Amino acid sequence: MLRYIIRRLLAIPLLVFGVVTICFFLAHNIKGDPLSSLLSFRQLGNPEIVAATKARWGLDKSLPEQYFIYIKNLLAGDFGTSFRTRRPVLEDIADRLPATLELAIVSLVIGSLAGIFLGMLAAYYRNQLIDDGARLFALIGSSMPVFWSGLILLFIFSVKLQILPGPGRLDPVTDIPPYVTGMFTIDSLLAGDIDKFLDAVRHMILPAFVMAWSMMGIISRIVRASMLDVLNQEYILTARSKGARELRVIMNHALRNVMIPTLTIIGFSFAYLITGAVLVETIFSWPGVGYYAVSSTRALDFPAIIGVTIIGATAFLVTNLVTDISYAFANPKIRLGR
Amino acid sequence: MKSLTHNHFQKTAFIIVVTLVFATVSSGIFSRQAEAAKKDVLVVARAMDINSLDPHIAFCDTCKVVIGMMYETLIKLGADNKTILPQLARNWEVSGDGMTYTFYLDEYAVFSDGSPVESKDVKFTIERWQNLKQDSSMYAKSISKVDASDPRKVVITVSSWPSELLGQLAVPYAGIINSDVARANGAVSTADAPKKDKAEAWFMKNSVGSSPYVLESYRPDEEIRLKQNPKYWGKKPAIKRIIIKHVPEPVSQAQMLESGQVDIAMQIDADTAKTIRNKNVVIKSQPSYYFNYVALVPGATNLEVPLTPKVREAIALAIDHEGMLDVTLGGAGRVQPSVIPVEFPGGGGLPMPKQNLVKARKLLAEAGHPNGFGLLAVYPDMTSFGVSFSVVMQKVQQDLRKIGIKVKLEPVTMAVLRSRTGGTIPMTILMWAADYMGSAQYVQYFAMVPGTTWYYLASGTTNDMKELTNHREAALMEKLQKASAEEAEKLYHEFAKEMINEHVIIPIGNPNLLLTYRKNVLGMRYDIITEIPFDEISKR
Amino acid sequence: MKKYDHLLTIPVIIGALIILFWVITALSIDLWQPYDPLEMVSRRLQPPSTKHLLGTDALGRDVFSRTLHGARHSIPIAMMVVISAVTIGSLLGAVAGYSGKWIDGFVMRLVDVTLAFPPILLAMAVAAALGPGLRNASIAMVVVWWPVYARLMRAQTLEVRERDHVEAAIASGVSRTRLLFVHILPVCWTPVLINATMDFGQAVLLLASLSFIGLGATPPTPEWGAMISEGAKFFYYWWIALGPGVSILLVVLGFNFIGDGLRDYFDPRTSD
C-alpha cells in the first residue's frame, strides 16, 4: 500500500512534465501567430514593430529554445506574462483562484449533502416511487448542460421573479471586503459586515446550485450503491424483523460506512467541479479561473492557456491520487497496483 | 416500525426546506436594497475590451472612455462635438502658414499629485506617444517638433495634415501625463522607448493625469473603478466615484439597468431596448459616428476567383442595404454611403448604395463568372455597436446567393482574425468608431495607398499589391497636405467617392446610438471622444 | 426470457424510445421539416405560436426546425466520437495488456498523461489549437476519451489472459492478431458497452459545451450548444435556448437510462 502511494507520488512530477510539454507544443501550433494576440492590424504591417515585439516577448527564438526557457522559468515559479492582461500569469490565476475556490467549495458541500441525502433516500426506499424520484432528480441534474440550467434558472429567478440577483459576485455598487482570503463570504464576515456577507451569499445561490445539481448524479449513485451493499447483508433482514431500534442502528452503521468514501466522492466530483467552473463561471460572469481559461482561449493568450492547464492538471493529478487512495482504503477488495 | 427512521428523513427534509425558503425570502428582501445607490456614485455596465491602461499603448473603445476620464488633453470638444474649447491650454495661436501651434498652459492646472502641468510634461507625453509607435500614435504623426523651453507654453510644429491637429490633440490618447512620476516608474520618451520603456504594468494600477478622476482599481474581466481626484484644479464634478462593471451581454446589461443595479448601460442594442418596460429607464436614440463595414481582400491567397474591380463591384451591388439595416438593427440606423460619416467633412451628398442584382449578374458574367463562385468569409464572431456580425454575414450570404456566389462562413475570435491577416481572409467584417471630429482618420486608415492600414491588409501576404494602389487617392493625399479647411472638405469628398468606387471597403450600416440610463441620471449626452462626459453627470 | 425481462425495465424502454425518436429525426428530418433551418422565414424574435412552435430566432429562422435539425449534427458526431475512442482505446489497451513491458509501459504512460488533464481543459486546448469547427471539436473529444477505454480494456485483458481458453490458445501457437480478436476482445465487451452507452450522452454534452464556448459548431450550423449560446445573448427571448436545452437533456437522459439498465442487467449487484 505504501509502495503504491510512493510510486504514484513520484509519478506526479513526471506526469506534470508531460503535461507541460504537450501544452507547450499545442499552444505553439495553435492556428495563429502569437504576435497577433499582442499587436493590432496597423502594427502587424510595420516590420520594425514586429521585430521589437518579438524580441520583447522572446518569440524570436527557435521553438526548442523557447521550450527550454519556459521550463527553466517554470521551475523558478515564473509562468510567463499574459498577452491579454499584461500581467504575470501566476498573478492572474492567484487573483482569480479564491473566487473559483469559494464557489467550488460551496457547490461541493451542497452537492455532497444533497447527493448523500438523495442516495440514502433512494437506498432506503429502494424500488419505490421515492427511489425513482430521487434518482431521476439527480440524473436530470447530471444530464442537463450546466450552462443551460444556469441560464434558465437565471431567467426564472433573476429576471422574472426578481428574487435572486443577476450575474456577478456582489452588487455593482458594493466595495469588495478587505482582502484576507479573497473569498468574499469569509472576508466580509471577518470584517463584521453582515450586509456584504448576505450579498455575497445571495450571489452564490444560483451558480452553486447549478454546479451542485450537476454533481448529484454521480454522488447519489455511489452513496446508493454503498448503502445497498450494507443493507443487503443478512443481518439487515434479521434486524428488520426484530424491530425499529435495530434498524435504526443499522441505518446509522450504513451511514457511517458511506462516510468513509467521502474523499472518494469528492475526488470523483472534482472533474465536474472543473467543468462546472469553466461553464458556470462564464454564464454567471463569475471572475474565477474558469472564466479566465475561456477568455484566454478565445484570445489565443498562450502563456495564460498553458498556465491554467498546467495548474489545473496538477491539481487534478493530486486529487485523483487522493481519490484512488481513499477508494482503496474504503474498498479493500480492489487490488492495488493491479 | 418505520416511524423512527422515517423521522430521520422527515427531520432532515424539513430543515433543508426551511433553510431554502429562508434563504430565498431573505434575499428577496435584501435585493430591494440594491436600488438605493448613493447619489455621488455612478455605476455603469459595459462590455470591457480594455487592452491596456497605458495612454500611449491603449487603443480600444472602452480605453477611450476610461483614459479620457483619467487624463486631460490640451484642448477639448464642446457639447456640439465640433467647437474646440480650452482645457489644459487656456488659449492658443496658429501661425499664418498653419505649421506652428502655440499653446499657453493654464497656470492653475495641476496633476493628481499637486505638481503643476508644464510644457515639459506635454513634450514628454507627445514624444513617448510617437516613439512607442502603438496604434493611436497615428494621430501624432503630423507633429515634427515640440518646443518646451518656456514652462508655461508649448510650441508644436507640424509637418503635414495641418488642419486636423486640434481635433487630434483632443483624442483621449493625447492626454497629458505627469512626466516626473511616469519617468520614476519606468516610462521613457526617447526613440528607444519600444525597448526601454517598462511603465505599462505600472499604468495598469496607477493613473497620473490632471483630470477630476484617478484610477482606483482595475480588475480585468470584472470592473474598473475611478475615484475623485482631491487635487483637481477645476470645478469638481458631482460624481465622486465611477464603477464600470464588465457585463458582456446586452441583455444582462438591460436587466441590471431595469433592476437599478447600474445607472447607465453602454451597449444595449435596439432589439434589447425594445424589451425594456421599466418606467425608470430612459432610452434615447440619436445618430452616431460609428459604422460597420464589409471588407474584400484582393490580396488573399485562398481566393477561388481573383477579386478584380468588376467582381468587387458586383458583390457590392448585390448587397441589400435596407434589408441589412432591418435585420441587424430593426431599422434603428442609417445607410452610410462611404467610410466618412455623413456629418463629417466630405461625407455629405454622396450617392446612396442601391441593390442592383441585374447589373451585378451582368458584371460577374463580364468578369468571366456567369455561374458565380465560392467565397470564404473569415470574420470576428462578436457584436459591435449592437450589431451581431454573424447576423450580418448570414444576410450577406443570402444576398450574394442571389447572384450565384456561395459564401462560406468562418467565424473566429478577434485574435485568430488578426493572426490570419497576411493572407487567408478573402472577406471579413469590422467596425470603426470616430476618434475625433475630422476626416483625416479615414484617409489614414482606409485609403488604398501604400502606408495606410487597409492597404497593407487588402494586399494580403504581398503587403504591396501594385494593382491595388489608387493613384488618384495618392494624389489627393498630396494635395491635402497643404490644403485649407474648405479645400480639404472638397478633397475629402473626392476621397469618399474614390473609396466608394473601389468597392474594397463596403460600409453596411451606421447604427443609431442608444443612450440607456436611469431616469435620475442628469447630464447624459453623447460625446464623440469619451462617449459619455462623466464629469458633467449628476444624479437626482 | 427471464434475462430480457430484467433488461427491459421502464426507464430502459423510455430511454430507447427517446433515442429512437432522435435517431429517426436525424435521419429523416430533411423530408418532413416544417421549415428550412437556415432560411429566414418570418419576422425575427417571434414568441412560440401555432405557425412556429418554438418561435423564431434573431435571424427569423424557425427554432423548432433548427432544434430538430440539431440532431443531425449532435447524434452522429457523438456516436462517431465514442466509437472512435472505443476502437482506438480498446485496441491500444488490449495490445498493452498482453504485450507487456515496453509497449505496456509506453501506452499506459500516454494514458496517464492524457488522463492527467481535466477533460474540458484538454478539449478546449486541443480544439483551440486546431481551430473552430465540428471536425476539430470531434478530434479533440476523441483525444480526451480514448484513455478511459484503453485502461478498461487493459484491465480486462489482463484478467482474461489468465483464463484457460486463452492460455490454451497461446500454447497452441495462435497468432497475436487472432488471439486478440477471437479470444480476448469478444469476452471483454460488457463494461465497454456500458461505458460507451453512457458516453454517447456525455459526448453530446461535451460537444454542446465546446460549441457554447465557441470552439465547436460555427454559424449557421444548428447545433444545440451553439443555439444555446445564441439564446444566452437573447435572454429575454427565452424560447431560443429552450428547444436545444431540452433536446440535450432528453438525449443524455435517454442514453443514461439505457446505460443504467445495461449495467443493472450485467451486474445485478448494483441494482437490488
Task: Tell me which of A180-184, B7-11, B87-91, C234-238 is least confident.
Answer: B7-11
> Cβ(C200)–Cβ(C255) under 8 Å?
yes
Enter the DSSP assignment of B116: B
Closest Cβ opposite residue B31 in set A41, A163, A172 = A163
Minimum distance, in Å, between the CA of residue C133 and any CA atom of chain A:
13
pLDDT for the residue A33: 63
Task: Reply yes or no on whether the pLDDT at C3 is more than 60.
Answer: no
In the prediction, which pLDDT does B163 show? Answer: 63
Name the minimum distance, in Å, from the CA of A331 to any CA of chain B. Answer: 27
Separation between Cα atoms, residue B455 and residue B447, nearest integer Å = 7
pLDDT at residue C272 tops 60: no
Question: pLDDT band for position B110 (50/70/90)?
Answer: very high
Stretch B323-348: mean pLDDT, rounded? Answer: 87
Third-level CATH fold of A95-288+312-330: MetI-like fold (1.10.3720)
B275 — contact with chain C (CB < 8 Å)? yes
| B413: contact with C, CB 8 A cutoff | yes
In whole angstroms, give the CA distance from residue A227 to residue A215. 18
What would the pLDDT profile of C150-179 be if each residue is shown by its tens digit? 988 888 887 777 777 777 777 777 776 676
Query: Measured between alpha carbons, how far is C19 from C258 in angstroms, rounded to an integer?
Result: 9
Instruction: For A36, name the nearest residue in chain B, comparing CA atoms only.
Output: B419
User: Quick check: B272 contacting C, CB < 8 Å?
Assistant: yes
* Nearest-CB residue to C233 (from B251, B393, B395): B251
> How far does chain C reach from its first CA to its final CA, in angstroms?
20
| Cβ–Cβ below 8 Å for A166 and B30 | no
Q: What is the pLDDT of residue A334?
A: 46
Cβ-Cβ contacts under 8 Å, B1 against chain A: 243-244, 247
The helix (run of H) or strand (run of E) holding residue B214 is strand B213-219
pLDDT digits 0-9 by tens, B43-73: 999 988 888 899 998 888 888 899 999 999 9
Chain C 185-214, residues with CB within 8 Å of chain B CB atoms: 214
Partners of B513 in beta bridges: B286
C-alpha cell recorded at residue B238: 458631482
The residue among A173, A223, A236, A281 with the most chain B CBs within 10 A of its CB, best to mutate, is A173
Those residues with Cβ within 8 angstroms of residue A42's Cβ, 6 or more apart along the chain or in another chain: B135, B138, B453, B456
- A130, closest residue in chain B (CA to CA): B9
Nearest to B491 by CA among B507, B504, B506, B472: B472
**Spans of all domains in chain C:** 60-266
Using CA coordinates, name the residue in chain C closest to A299: C128
Chain A contacts of C244, Cβ < 8 Å?
Answer: 148
Task: Kindly report the nearest CA distance between residue A188 and chain B, in angstroms.
Answer: 16
CATH classification code of C60-266: 1.10.3720.10
**Other beta carbons less than 10 A from residue B22's beta carbon:** 10
DSSP annotation of C48 = P
Residue recorded with cell 521613457: B188
Strand partners, B518: B281
Indicate the residue of A140, A293, A294 with minimum beta-carbon distance to C253: A140
Q: Does the beta carbon of A295 lie under 8 angstroms from any beta carbon of chain C?
A: no
The whole-chain average pLDDT of chain B stands at: 85
Q: What is the mean pLDDT of residues B458-471?
A: 75
What type of residue is B52?
A: S
Of B158-167, C63-72, C214-223, C230-239, give the range with the top mean pLDDT: C63-72
pLDDT band at B301 (very low <50, low <70, confident <90, very high): confident
Residue numbers of chain A with a pLDDT score lower than 50: 334-338
Question: Does C70 or B220 have the greater pLDDT score?
Answer: C70
d(CA A325, CA B354): 72
pLDDT of residue A279: 92
Residues 1-60 of C with CB under 8 A from A: none
Provide the percentage of residues in chain B whose pLDDT is more than 90.
36
Q: Subunits that touch chain A (at least 3 Cβ pairs < 8 angstroms)?
A: B, C
Confidence of residue B229 (pLDDT cuts 50, 70, 90): very high
ipTM: 0.84
Cβ–Cβ gap C44/B250 under 8 Å: no
State how far the Cα of B363 lies from the Cα of B481, in Å rounded to an integer. Answer: 37
Domain boundaries, chain A: 95-288+312-330
Round the CA-based radius of gyration of chain A to a whole number and report it: 24
Closest Cβ opposite residue C218 in set B327, B383, B409: B409
| DSSP notation for B396-452 | HHHHHHTTT-EEEEEEE-HHHHHHHTTTS-SEEEEEEE-SSS-SHHHHHHH-SSTTS
Q: Contact C214/B413, CB-based, under 8 Å?
A: yes
B4 has a pLDDT exceeding 50: no
A98 Ramachandran zone, left/alpha/beta (phi>0; psi -120 to 50) = alpha
Q: Select the residue from A19, A139, A297 to test the C interface by mutation, using most C Cβ atoms within 10 A.
A: A297
pLDDT, position B252: 78
Q: For strand B290-296 and strand B333-334, is the pairing parallel, antiparallel, or unpaired? A: unpaired
Contacts of B499 (CB under 8 A, 6+ apart): B338, B339, B446, B447, B448, B473, B505
Lowest mean pLDDT among A55-59, B242-246, C214-218, C230-234: A55-59
In the structure, what pLDDT confidence band is assigned to residue B317 with cuts at 50, 70 and 90?
Answer: very high
Residues of B in contact with C132 (CB under 8 A): 410-412
Inter-chain contact B245–A117, Cβ cutoff 8 Å? no
CA atoms of C63 and B435, how far apart (whole Å): 40
Q: How confident is the model at residue B3 (pLDDT cuts 50, 70, 90)?
A: very low
Which region among A89-93, B37-41, B263-267 has the lowest average model confidence (pLDDT)?
Answer: B37-41
Determine whether the interchain pair A159/C236 forms a contact, defined as Cβ–Cβ distance below 8 Å: yes
CA distances from C184 to B47, C105, C158, C164, C167 (A): 58, 20, 10, 12, 11
Burial bucket for residue B114 (CB in 10 Å: 0-12, 13-18, 19+): exposed
Altogether, the residues listed in chain C come to a count of: 272
Give the β-pairing of B505-507 and B41-46.
unpaired
**d(Cα B349, Cα B340) in Å, to the nearest integer?**
11
